[in-house]
Amino acid sequence: MKYLVDSREMQKYDANTISHFKVPGLLLMERAAIAFVEELHRQNVDLTEVLIVCGSGNNGGDGLAIARLLFLEGHAVTVVYAGNKEHCSESNRVQQDILNAYGISIYMDIPEKIRPTLVIDAIFGVGLSRDVTGEYADMLCRMNELSGEKAAVDIASGISADTGAILGTAFRADLTITFAFEKLGSILWPGNEYAGRIIVCDIGITKESWLGEPPTVMALEEKDFSILPKRKNHSNKGSYGKLLLIAGSVNMAGAAVLSAKAAYATGCGLVRVLTPGENRTILQCSVPEAVLTTYDKTLVPEEPVLREILDWADAIVIGPGLGKEKTSAQILNFVLEYGTSHENKAFLFDADALNLVAEQKNTGVQGADRWKNFKNTAVITPHLGEMSRLTGKTVGEIQKNLLQTAADFADENQVICVLKDEHTVTALPDHKRYLNLSGNPGMATAGSGDVLSGLIGALMAQKLTSYQAAPLGVYFHGLAGDIMVQTTGLQGLTASDLITGIKKVLNIYTQQ
């Protein structure tokens, strides 16, 4: 597990290290400068001619210290100060004095004829919360236009450390060398497009500096696969869970096929699919391992039939390719009512199940979102469009506040909200949030979400809690894509390839 921090958290942990653990701020600044320069060497950055632009805060102080270290190594360094020298932090002032003592000139503007091989941005740190305008904006634009590689100190200036928003204008880095913990703004879109490669360096601000208040956003790592269910020698198909997929509609059988195949690839013992009769032949040919219960598309299955198959299952996934016909809505409503009185069942709502809930809410239907009263916390897996319909917010508004939108919805509805985007957010109703760092653009393909639903459903059927299965399933899904894209390329990756990727991931991580 790794932790990702916002501006408030990083500033607090920095202050805790200084005040509680008595580590001098200047010492942390020196460690940051040393780590930055060492990383430049490890990355084989061309240091023939370096331009470093520093602001008046502690980020600028880091930059001034970096300039000194590079100067003492014998590199040609030009230091430019952006801001008012008289209104600077105390540590920044000390670093100015040190440069003056070494005879290193500090310019107030970028020299006209400079042709740097490296441009270092140390203007603003993580605390920036206002739009960059005027002389600062002009300075960032000029820096972006210069030749040479671009490197940012801690975070690229102009990026909100909290949301990834571009605050007016921003430095476009090829490399961001950050300290202690990764910053959310460098990972979330569009900030990630300005951050370049991100490297985290230890400077002495550690988990101890949390003082009992850890970051609220986490990202899973490979070692977190340790919670995957293990296969036992003495077992049978019933040992690995029973998953009910309520999926597919006429001309949309593929969603049910992909979800069922993904569930079996993830190790589920038995998958049952409730789908219209028109899909019987397709499913029997495509997923012969699946058990089928079919119904007339114009008639909802009788209550005893629905109750029997729901009672049979350990986990229920409803929505992939379901369609929005009257029968689909009736089945959904039965499942929603069932979930309010059965605490030993896991539920996941996806795709058309979410669209139907949104339609019912918008037309004033009472209890459309009954999942907030479930005995066992439900998982929902909306993409941005589905989330827009559920919340009434525009896609643009959601993208600007991805983490907060998911967290607010999870809290208000008491669900686990898996909000799918470039970096999918999994927000839990206990205020914990996961930001997924696996996956690639090739996964933006038809059926990818159906695979994810089947994967998470299979983990829940195998007795992982919903709180475990949702973030792990998202990470697992991304790794499957990362493995397969090495063979298929980004353009050629399909949802069916992801199912092969699931098997490859399991083969790697269950053998360790």
Annotated binding site: 58-62, 121, 125-131, 136, 154, 157, 255, 321, 383, 420-424, 449-450
Nearest to 423 by CA among 384, 390, 396: 384
Instruction: Kindly list the distances between the CA atom of residue 189 and the CA atoms of 249, 277, 396, 500, in Å, as whole numbers in the listed order.
Output: 34, 43, 12, 29
Residues 6+ apart with CB under 8 A from 200: 178, 179, 180, 181, 182
The span from the CA of 326 to the CA of 297, in Å, is 9
Structure tokens at 177: 């060398």
Give the residue among 158, 211, 208 at the shortest CA–CA distance from 186: 158
Let me know: does 476 contact 267? Beta carbons within 8 Å: no
Say whether 107 sits in a helix, a strand or coil. Answer: strand
Distances (CA, A) of 109 to 49, 245, 386: 17, 64, 49
Task: Judge contact between 495 and 258, C-beta under 8 A.
Answer: yes
Q: Give the residue numbers of the binding site for K(+).
A: 59, 121, 157
Q: How far is CA 385 from CA 82, 329, 412, 421, 494, in A?
A: 42, 19, 19, 10, 21
Q: Return the DSSP state at 414.
A: T
For residues 247 and 255, what is the distance between their CA atoms, to the nearest angstrom?
7
Binding-site residue numbers for (6S)-NADPHX are: 58-62, 125-131, 136, 154, 255, 321, 383, 450
Query: Which residues are annotated binding-site positions for AMP?
Result: 420-424, 449
The three state secondary structure string of 488-506 is: HHHHHCCHHHHHHHHHHHH
